[in-house]
Amino acid sequence: MKRIIFLAIGAALFLGSCSQNLDLRPTNDITADVAYGSPEGYKNALAKVYGSFALTSGAGPGNSDLGGIDAGTSDFLRLYWNAQELTTDEGICAWLGDPGVAELNYQTWNSSNVMLRGLYTRSIYHITVINEFLRESTDEKLAARGITGADATAIQQYRAEARFLRAYQYWVLMDLFGNPPFITEENEIGITPPQQIKRADLFAYVEAELLAIENLLAGPRQNEYARADRAAAWALLARLYLNAEVYLGQGNGKYSEAVTYASKVIDAGYNLMSEYNRLFMADNDQNNPEVIFPIAYDGVQTQNNGGTTFIINSSVHGSMTPANFGIPGGGWGGNRSRSTLPAAFDDVSGDTDKRAMFFGSNPNIEDPAVFTEGLAVTKFTNKTSAGGDGRSVNGTFVSTDFPLFRLAEQYLIYAEAVLRGGAGGSNNQALAYLNLLRERAYGNASGNLTAVSLDIVLNERSRELYWEAFRRTDLIRYGRYTGGNYLWPFKGGLAAGRAVESFRTLFPIPAADMIANPNLEQNTGY
């Protein structure tokens, strides 16, 4: 059961609306001593911390904790997915009239882009909620409220989970925006606007936080579903280390560390799901040995137009019979692939590589506003593995969870880190891990590789992880996101693609925050 999310709905949501500033407390007329007055109150508060991933507001559908952006667009995953996919060679959106979308499609955004502002603000909001939870769950606060023994021990584990989620959101801000404002539970509230942190310093903070909580979290696969455990921290560390040269500068690679932490996850008892498509179905919370940490969604309890509801509905058009995808009331016809994504597969029909899940016959796009130009991506669905529909109020909201971390990524991190010089691994093992992915994809050894290279790993990441919000980060790490050495359709706004400025490897600090906080310095180029 997706218990932690359900708790978020049923709890007294004492953490109310919040400014986008990090130096404020969430506001509500219920005092902290009442909200945190019992062990159950802390569990409900933890549910709110997790729920901030999957909900736009504790007030229900149509509401948002954020200002300045449409409520349905303000969900974390919807905003993050757009930033990671629409700005790359994988996805393009037909909704050119929606604010901010065309600029992401064409890599022409500026500091006023509403989608980027929403993502930045959503991550900051989540950090704000977490900071408040951490302020209220210190040993001193627990003792003052008479919470001791096993209850206090459980709450200390909650703190570790909250710190993991905060480290994750700071990683998001570091990866996308580079040098965000920074504040923790230790800062005084409302005294001065948050100070900006340099990317290298934020890397050190995220690394230190993850290492500090490593042994405070539940063991791998020992926590409730959709709650963070030790393997989630290892998985984020492996991802952090793989990208260290991007964050710290050339020559500062941490590939040996990436091998170490990917290996910790690989050796922790996870296994590949037997069938690739089952990873992305409405019952992917059941009997799933591969997913390490998901965002949990439910088509009744977590209604909003973001998350996997957005991914599935935006990838399906009315002409595709939405009922076949478990959304008989949906199908918005927005996001589909650029021709470069299906071209990564030898056979887009899925007869050989079963990961190729596309709909349509025309991979080429002449008019980005026409959804039926380009192949639709049918990877995510609200159907169950038994053929039924996932839970849904109106045939639009979905119950498919989104895997933020899964075992396959750790195989790919291991392989790439070894090839980039990481110690503690071997090329033979890297090849073996890639072939495990390919044997699942092909159903046999017919697609197995006989050698491995960095380009092979990048291509395999595209085939394995497409539509899962990895592509921007991957292309930047490989030096192919900006410039003209790798072009894709409509890169830079031209049908044939064009070189774009190197500063676009970072998004801008939103103009509104620059005005509000005099401590901030804008990223180069904006």
Instruction: Return the pLDDT at 131.
Output: 96
Of how many residues is the chain composed? 526
Query: What pLDDT band is residue 16 in, cutting at 50, 70 and 90?
Result: very low
CA–CA distance, 172 with 122 (Å, rounded to integer):
11
Q: How far is CA 147 from the centre of its chain?
A: 34
Instruction: Return the pLDDT at 69.
Output: 83
Query: What pLDDT band is residue 191 in, cutting at 50, 70 and 90?
Result: low
Instruction: Return the pLDDT at 18.
Output: 40
DSSP conformation class of 96: T
Reference 456, options 412, 409, 500, 422; nearest CA is 412
Give 214-272 pLDDT, tens digit per residue.
999 999 999 999 999 999 999 999 999 999 999 999 999 999 999 999 999 999 999 99
User: Residue range 324-344: average pLDDT?
Assistant: 98
Three-class secondary structure assignment of 452-483: CCHHHHHHHHHHHHCCCCCHHHHHHHCCCCCE
pLDDT top residue among 20 and 344: 344
Contact 53, 164 (CB under 8 A): no
Handedness of CA 261, 416, 167, 244 (dihedral sign): positive
Query: What pLDDT band is residue 17 in, cutting at 50, 70 and 90?
Result: very low
Reference 42, options 75, 89, 4, 76; nearest CA is 4
Angle CA 133–173–249, to nearest 5? 130
Neighbours of 213 (CB within 10 A): 20
What's the mean pLDDT when you consider all of the chain? 93
Three-class secondary structure assignment of 240-278: HHHCHHHHHCCCCCCHHHHHHHHHHHHCCCCCCCCCHHH
Contact 263, 220 (CB under 8 A): no
Query: Would you state the structure tokens that stand for residue 22, as one six-digit string?
Result: 């990090």
Instruction: Return the pLDDT at 33.
Output: 81
Query: Would you state the structure tokens that stand for residue 231, as one six-digit string?
Result: 């393997």
Phi and psi angles of residue 135, each rounded to the nearest 5 degrees, phi first: -65, -35
Q: What single letter denotes the amino acid at residue 139?
A: D
72 SS3 class: helix
Contact 438, 324 (CB under 8 A): no
Instruction: Return the pLDDT at 56.
Output: 87
Q: Is the pLDDT reported for residue 347 higher than 80? A: yes
Instruction: Return the pLDDT at 236.
Output: 99
Residues in a beta bridge with 335: 93
CA–CA distance, 411 with 430 (Å, rounded to integer):
7
Q: What single letter denotes the amino acid at residue 271?
A: N
Q: Is the pLDDT reported for residue 307 higher than 80? A: yes
Instruction: Return the pLDDT at 32.
Output: 82
Q: Is the pLDDT reported for residue 19 higher than 90? A: no
Give 418-475 pLDDT, tens digit per residue.
999 999 999 999 999 999 999 999 999 999 999 999 999 999 999 999 999 999 999 9
For 138, residues 6+ apart whose C-beta sits below 8 A from its C-beta are: none
Contact 130, 158 (CB under 8 A): no
Tell me what percent of the residues of the chain surpass a pLDDT of 90. Answer: 86
Instruction: Return the pLDDT at 30.
Output: 58
Q: What single letter denotes the amino acid at residue 24?
A: L
Contact 498, 154 (CB under 8 A): no
Q: Which CATH class is domain 1-216+486-526?
A: mainly alpha
For 111, residues 6+ apart whose C-beta sits below 8 A from its C-beta are: 508, 509, 510, 511, 514, 522, 526
Contact 154, 224 (CB under 8 A): no
Q: What single letter denotes the amino acid at residue 439?
A: E
Q: Is the pLDDT reported for residue 1 higher than 80? A: no
Q: Is the pLDDT reported for residue 8 higher than 60? A: no
Query: What pLDDT band is residue 64 in, cutting at 50, 70 and 90?
Result: confident
Characterise 443 by phi-psi region: left (phi > 0), alpha (psi -120 to 50), beta (else).
left
Contact 191, 156 (CB under 8 A): no
Q: Is the pLDDT reported for residue 393 higher than 80? A: yes
